[in-house]
Amino acid sequence: MTNLVYLVPLFPLIGFLINGLGWRKIPKAAGGIIGSVAILASFAVSLGIFFEVKSTGASTVVHLFDFIQSGTLYIPFSFQVDALSSLFLLIITGIGFLIHVYSTSYMHEDEGMVKYFAYLNLFVFSMLLLVLGANYLIMFIGWEGVGLCSYLLIGFWFKNRDYTNAAKKAFVMNRIGDLGFLVGMLLILFNYGTLSYQEFFGQLNGGQVQLSANMYNWIAICLFIGAMGKSAQIPLYTWLPDAMAGPTPVSALIHAATMVTAGIYMIARSSALYNLAPAALNLVAIIGLATAILAASIAIRQYDIKKVLAYSTVSQLGFMFLALGVGAYTTAVFHVMTHAFFKALLFLGSGSVIHAMGGEQDIRKMGGLNKHMKITGITFLIGCLAISGIPGFSGFFSKDEILASVYAHSPVMYYMALGAALMTAFYMFRLYFLTFTGSFRGTEEQHHHLHESPAAITIPLIVLAILSVVGGYVGLPPVISEHHTLNTYLGSVLSNFNVHHLEHSTEWILMGLSTGLVIAMIIVARVATKNPKFAENTGLAKVLENKWYVDELYDAVIVRPLGVLADVLDRFAEKMGVDGVVNGTGRLVRWSSDRVRLLQTGQVGFYIFVMVIGIAVIFALRFFGLNY
Amino acid sequence: MKAIIAATVLGVILMFAGLFVKEKKSVASLAVFLLFVLLGVNIWDLVTTAPNETLSFFNNMLRVDRYALWFNTLMTGCTLLYALLVSKEIQRVGSHVAEYFALICFILCGVYMLSTYNNVLILFIGIEILSIPQYILAGSDKRNLKSSEASLKYFLMGAFSTGILLMGITLLYGATGTFNIIQYTFLQSDMLSPMALAGILFLMVAFAFKVSAAPMHMWTPDVYDGAPTPFTAFMATIVKASAFVAFMRLFSVSFGAISSDWMMVLAIITAATLFVGNITAVFQQSVKRMLAYSSIAQAGFMLFAVLAVNATAWQGMMIYAVAYSVATIGMFAVLMKMKDYTYDGFNGLAKKDPMLAAFTTVFLLSLAGIPLTGGFMAKYFVLLAAVEQGKMMWLVIFALFMAAVSAYYYFRVIMAMYFKQGNAELNTEVSATDRFLLAITVLLVIVLGAAPNLILNI
Amino acid sequence: MNFLLLAANQQTPFSYLPVAIQLLVGIGFVVLTIGASQFLGPKRSTADKLINFESGIPSVGNARQPMAIKYFLVAILFVLFDVEVIFFYPYAVNFKELGQEGFWAVIMFVAFFLSGFIYIVKKGALDWED
């Protein structure tokens, strides 16, 4: 089965080619079916690979063909099949398939539906390349591929100027991160002469090439800058909330469940490097924690249903980086998985709501939707319970594991992280209560129009809701069970670094504390939204509503000065310097052409004369001096 | 060896065919058929020779190795492609179609001799066999004054350069007492007599004339411009490539050990060729004349292979010969379809015949050396050879700058086709066969760019 | 003359000195004799000396008249076949030594020339009247 791994990215690629080349001709329904079947096929293969890896625990490199071969540089195009990548394969193709099915209904009205499916397949293809690559370059190809798809899909409704601006913003922010990734890759290549995981980690562990600790840190930090861009961490997180301009299923797939977790995958993959770079690891933890708190605080005062979820995603990604930063790599991967389930569920639920509301996204105009959309309401509630960390739901297990690891690392960070977790519970239930309970606050027309979504939308919701509940049981906390299924599975490639186990009593206390406080926060949220009044925000609330004015800050500190600098360069360096040199060269060439051309008189006598002069000069040069 | 005899006999057959067959079309078909036979003979020669085998013929006058056989095969293949593409235009030049093809066969005979000679007398005979038919072909459009002028100019200057060649051979014989090029390898730098050195320099000048390197290039624009276009296409490609292989055979094999004695002079010739070819091409108004200057400029690049004197240089020469010939033949084939040979004649071709315009673009990109085309690989290999040799980095940099200048005049045609308004008039209808053959040529250009090893690993 | 011999034995540009001297002597002799006859000879220029003179009969018309291309064609073909005959002299001298192989080589040589001859006859190059 492992040898068939190339089929996994191949199916989406074929789907992309069919839909992409024929998007003007293929009927909408057919396009949806082609797109979905392609992902289903690769899901089936992924499942086979998953079980094979599970039984053998082997880590195989599948060589496809030689990609770059130049001098001592050798980069093959090969895939790495092991526990980590096979788990990601399942998440990507599984959730990807559900979202494709969901999209067949959600995008039904759209004219560019076939094109949409082509992009979506291309995205899945790139994402699979990213996680399957057996060296950093293949990962980078996938990395850029998903960035491109993200850009295309955010700006999918490109007739809206704001949407294309959001797409541009995402692209530029990602490029900044990519630069870091690229520099990191080049540093690895420069120091180790290879980009292959096997060889690189082998040399790291074997210690053949000893570098200063600083160098490890620099490489690790450069890679982390790449992760910052892709996974929306401070300071490069502002693109993700804006990315909600894309169709909602896209937000669910790309900007919640899969693409944004690429950074976590990359750092988990490079754990051998990060283990040698303590400073970089600390930076990861601090950035993760800061992002978790900042994004959660912003989410409290957002009114757009998708914006709340977007900030929640940023915040949850912060949690994952926090886990990575304290060395709990498997925990981070665990949270990636559970988060993929419940965040996809929440986004798809919000899509269902938006669909029912006829495109309205402002929660101030919603309310009481429970009565009209039972399935959406219940599944959304399950999602909220999961993300808030109510015992029994998947989010509880993974978040608890993160908090326990953080506590073992540093109690101060634990309390801060707990604060972020409590904010999460608050804003999620504020969102839930405002949307689904109380009375309807929208227009009469919207009220009349409210309806439950069709089966293609509700079935993925139900499947994801089930997964959001049971998904956590693969990683039971040590106080309940000694056997941690996910850790055992990942054990062959990934093990936690420097993580101390807590006393069972301490762990019980922490669990009880967080659960109690979360329930308290839910009650607070209930009270706060009992009689919603949406007065103009003042003070801190206003700052939060405006996202801490980070966008404005970036604009003032970076964008404007750069604009001024560019203007100056354009006027002076460009017009006078570069243009002058370029045009001058052109003019010189034309001028000399005009002169040299006159040599061609058309008279044989003159030609032979030139030849003779030439011969004389050649002889003179050779016999009197010029020589090697 | 078989190929030399076959080329001669087939040429004679064609001459006689012209006496008995009056229909131009049947003569052209016969010629194409005979060229197929010639290609077959070349392949026969190739497959019956083991990869590392070297054969001698005529008392060691000819020395046949795998490289030479492969070169001959490829050049015959290019000639066949050329004959297929332009046979209609050749029929339009004049009434002696059989003779034109016979002369092409004789030129091929000269090509084979130039790639296998082991004796400078054979080199001399080969160059004469190569040149004399060209004088006739250049003047074959008898009613056109420019054609006659080109023929006469070419003949006069060719005779002059032949004299120089003989002078070089004589001096070299005086210094060494032999005509055998292998014997010349015993020449040593520290005891090189002025006579031998003068001989080498005269030979270099004579070759420079044949490959149209500056300052012996003056005939090229006038002759290429004046000669009937189908024959210009032949002269600028296959003939020039084989003159280069002869040049390289002598200077790499015989004088390779004393390369330090002539390298600087040849480097200056190369620089001058690159400069004159590229710079003068910029101001031309006629695409045909531009292609003449472009052939001088391309010769400048091929000179790198002669300069480098290493294994990569031989590979570079092979791929340059083929890539340059294929792209230039294609470009000339398109040019012959045009009514107006100036840049303005190409205005708006993309609207009128998008397929033809696309083909032309590929040929021009290859000539300019844009990646993914054969021309890029060719330039890459010859410059790589020079870099490996390491003594002439300044020249490599200069060549790269000149390659950038060359993009100007090649892209002007593309600009005219795609961005200018106009009604590009075609001389003749472009038939489906023409399109098919041009498509094959385009394919060859791209295959050479993607997989140059196809013709390098033999 | 000793130093000249010495120079000639060395492989330097200097060894061409004898050639240069001979060149100078040659040119000098020609210039000297022509110049001397110009100065020394008696000169009496009259109009009668400048007109064409042929056997005492007054000349008719211009000597430079365009001639038919046929003359040149026949002349050049004559030279071509004439040169072929010249090749037989060395062959005749070495007839025995060259043996069978030489015989067939010459037969081939003649055959090619013969086919060339047939070609020009067929092509009508030797037809005087059009």
Is the pLDDT assigned to residue C8 strictly greater than 60? no
- Residues of chain B found within 8 Å of residue C119, distances taken between Cβ atoms: 15-16, 19
- Across the range A80-92, mean pLDDT stands at 89
Between residues 362 and 421 of chain B, which touch chain C (CB distance below 8 Å)? none
Give A58's pLDDT tier (boundaries 50, 70, 90). confident
Give C5's pLDDT tier (boundaries 50, 70, 90). low
Task: Give the long-range contacts of residues A23-28, CB within 8 A, separation 24 or more.
Answer: A23/A112, A23/A114, A23/A115, A23/A118, A26/A114, A27/A114, A28/A108, A28/A113, A28/A114
**B382 token code pair:** 């010859």
Return mean pLDDT, chain B. Answer: 92
Give C65's pLDDT tier (boundaries 50, 70, 90). confident
For the segment B292-321, what is each residue's pLDDT rounded down to a tens digit?
999 999 999 999 999 998 889 999 999 999
Is the pLDDT assigned to residue A628 strictly greater than 60? no
What is the distance of C-alpha B154 from the center of its chain? Answer: 16
- Count of A–B CB contacts within 8 Å? 87
Other CB atoms within 10 Å distance of the CB of residue B442: 21
Q: How far apart are CA B219 and CA A212, in angstroms?
A: 66
The count of domains in chain B is 1
For the segment A277-289, what is each residue's pLDDT rounded down to a tens digit?
888 888 999 999 9
Give B43's pLDDT tier (boundaries 50, 70, 90). very high
- How far is CA A614 from each of CA A620, B202, B213, rounded to the nearest angstrom? 10, 11, 11
């140059």: which residue's tokens?
B452
Distance from CA of A363 to the nearest CA of B (A): 53
- Which pLDDT value is given to residue A113? 87
Q: Is B194 on the interface with A (CB under 8 A)?
A: yes
Give C31's pLDDT tier (boundaries 50, 70, 90). very high
Give B251's pLDDT tier (boundaries 50, 70, 90). very high
Q: Is A610 on the interface with B (CB under 8 A)?
A: yes
Is the pLDDT assigned to residue A472 strictly greater than 80? yes
- Across the range A255-263, mean pLDDT stands at 86
- Which pLDDT value is given to residue C4? 55
- Across the range B70-88, mean pLDDT stands at 94
- Across the range B152-167, mean pLDDT stands at 94
For the segment B382-431, what is each residue's pLDDT rounded down to a tens digit?
999 999 988 888 999 999 999 998 998 999 999 999 998 888 888 888 88
Q: How far apart are CA B59 and CA B56, in angstroms?
A: 7
Q: Is B15 on the interface with C (CB under 8 A)?
A: yes
Nearest CB neighbour to C12, from listed B12, B16, B194: B194
Is the pLDDT assigned to residue A207 strictly greater than 70? no
For the segment A524-571, what is each residue's pLDDT rounded down to a tens digit?
888 887 777 776 777 777 777 777 788 888 888 888 888 888 888 888
Contact A339, A398 (CB under 8 A): yes
For the segment A304-361, what is each residue's pLDDT rounded down to a tens digit?
888 888 999 999 999 999 999 888 888 899 999 999 999 999 999 998 888 888 878 8
Torsion sign, CA atoms A35, A37, A40, A46: negative
Min mean pLDDT across A31-40, A573-582, B64-73, B265-274 is at: A573-582
Bridge partner residues of A196 (DSSP): A135
For the segment A435-467, what is each residue's pLDDT rounded down to a tens digit?
888 888 878 887 888 888 888 888 888 999 998
Bigger pLDDT: A452 vs A144 = A144
Task: For the full predicted model, state whether its pTM sits above 0.90.
Answer: no
Q: Which residues are within 8 A (CB) of B255 and not within 5 positions of it... i.e. 6 or more apart?
A: B184, B187, B200, B261, B262
Residue numbers of the domain that contains B267: 2-456
- Which pLDDT value is given to residue A278? 86
Contact A340, A467 (CB under 8 A): no
HSE-CB at B249 with a 13 A cutoff on CA atoms is 29
Q: Is A598 on the interface with B (CB under 8 A)?
A: no
Amino acid (1-letter code) at residue A575:
K
The ranges assigned to domains in chain A are 329-342+353-535, 554-623
3-state helix, strand, coil in chain A (%, to 5): 75, 5, 20
- Which pLDDT value is given to residue C9? 60
Quote the longest CA-to-CA distance of chain B. Answer: 66
Is the pLDDT assigned to residue C58 strictly greater than 80? no
- Which pLDDT value is given to residue A209? 65
Is the pLDDT assigned to residue B223 strictly greater than 90? yes
Q: Is C119 on the interface with B (CB under 8 A)?
A: yes
Highest mean pLDDT among B332-346, C36-50, C61-75: B332-346
């192989």: which residue's tokens?
C101
This complex has an ipTM of 0.88
Is the pLDDT assigned to residue B190 strictly greater than 90? no
What is the distance of C-alpha B315 from the center of its chain? Answer: 16
Amino acid (1-letter code) at residue A500:
H
Distance from CA of B274 to the nearest CA of C (A): 32
Tell me if B283 and A613 make a contact (CB, 8 A cut-off): no
Give A576's pLDDT tier (boundaries 50, 70, 90). confident
Between residues 561 and 590 of chain A, which touch chain B (CB distance below 8 Å)? 586, 589-590
